[in-house]
Amino acid sequence: MKTIAYKEFGSTTVLQTIEEPKPTIQDNQVLVKVKAVSINPLDWKIRKGEMKLMSGSKFPKHTGTDFSGIIEETGSSVTTLKKGDEVFGVVKNNMKEGALGEYVAVSASLVWKKPADINFHQAASIPTVGVAAVMAIQKMGTITPNTRILINGAAGGLGMFLLQLLKLKGGNITAVTGTNAINSAKSWGANSVVDYKTEDVLTKGTTYDVVIDLSGTMGYKNARKIMKSNSVFINPIPGPIDILTNPIKNLFRSKKHIVLLSAPSERYINELLHAIDNGLQIEVSKVFPFTQSKEAYEYAEKGGIVGKVVIAVN
């Protein structure tokens, strides 16, 4: 089968199509004929060698975490899925494996049935960012109509889910986006939008109960300036030191710094499926064919994307 892999860390130029044997499955796994893979920033952070501590440096490496497709084969202990089911899911360890290929073998516990009213491109866009959005909201505590929430970098994959899920909870949301994404952020539920290309949210004089930085450009140090006391900063792009030290540091400060690590599971996916059933929109702004996987990553890495970029495989 054809798969996208790389044999050294680097820019999109290291990506290549290689032939590999079709994966074999274990008893608890399913073999999925991949229809689509969505792009996440983590894909290129791993490829550029920014996550070496976790990914190791063994090559070839594969890419892509979130996929959708059709079940081709099930392991002997799998009872919840059958050949022909339309599904979406995630690879277990995106530091060591990738979904961007014609087939992927994964644990059945990380694969869910695709709702009939969304397409494969949309389904492949759900798991990592959708679950991160649900988990982020849990970390925000009680949300009332008066809770002021700032989402910095609100128009990408995670922001799209977060804005719409938060809107259902009733918070007062300020979204920071580029000029091109202002209307999308409003339509997803932002009460107000700050255009980061022309304004600086740090100097506008408003303070927040919750700040979440999806762009990685603000950081806790800056966010503190616009956080109320007894507020939280949610960080989906933590370094190892943040992960290790913040639980202790938070004991002694009223402006908490909370790390977010997406862990897709049935419980969170069910919450997302319920929201999708109730009208949550999944915007896929561009779809590339498998043969243009390199171009797809070049496009996504340039930024300015609203929602998700997807690679259609089969």
Ligand X SMILES: NC(=O)c1ccc[n+]([C@@H]2O[C@H](COP(=O)([O-])OP(=O)(O)OC[C@H]3O[C@@H](n4cnc5c(N)ncnc54)[C@H](OP(=O)(O)O)[C@@H]3O)[C@@H](O)[C@H]2O)c1
Q: Nearer Cβ to ligand X, position 136 or 273?
A: 136
**Identified binder of ligand X from the candidate list 23, 127, 171, 236, rule CB under 6 A:** 236
Query: Cβ distance 75 to 50 under 8 Å?
Result: no
* Sheet strands side by side (includes 61-62): 16-19, 2-6, 61-62
CA nearest neighbour of 10 among 37, 42, 40, 50: 50
Q: Nearer Cβ to ligand X, position 104 or 129?
A: 129
153 forms part of the interface with ligand X (CB under 6 A): yes
CA nearest neighbour of 16 among 26, 29, 6: 6
171 forms part of the interface with ligand X (CB under 6 A): no
Letters for 115-134 (x = contact with ligand X by CB under 6 A, - = none) are -------------xx--x--
Query: Cβ distance 29 to 105 under 8 Å?
Result: yes
CA nearest neighbour of 259 among 230, 226, 237, 229: 237
Residues 259-288 that bind ligand X (CB under 6 A): 260-262
Strands 2-6 and 16-19: antiparallel
Contacts with 247 (C-beta within 8 Å, 6 or more apart), sequence order? none
Q: Nearer Cβ to ligand X, position 134 or 143?
A: 134
230 forms part of the interface with ligand X (CB under 6 A): no
Phi-psi category of residue 197: left, alpha or beta, with phi > 0 → left and psi -120 to 50 → alpha: alpha
Which span (52-60, 80-88, 167-175, 258-266) binds ligand X, by CB under 6 A?
A: 258-266
**Identified binder of ligand X from the candidate list 127, 157, 171, 264, rule CB under 6 A:** 157
Shortest approach of ligand X to residue 136 CB, angstroms? 9
Shortest approach of ligand X to residue 238 CB, angstroms? 7
Could you tell me how many residues of this chain bind ligand X (CB under 6 A)?
28
Binding residues for ligand X (CB under 6 A)? 40-42, 128-129, 132, 152-153, 155-159, 176, 178, 196, 214-217, 236-237, 260-262, 303-305
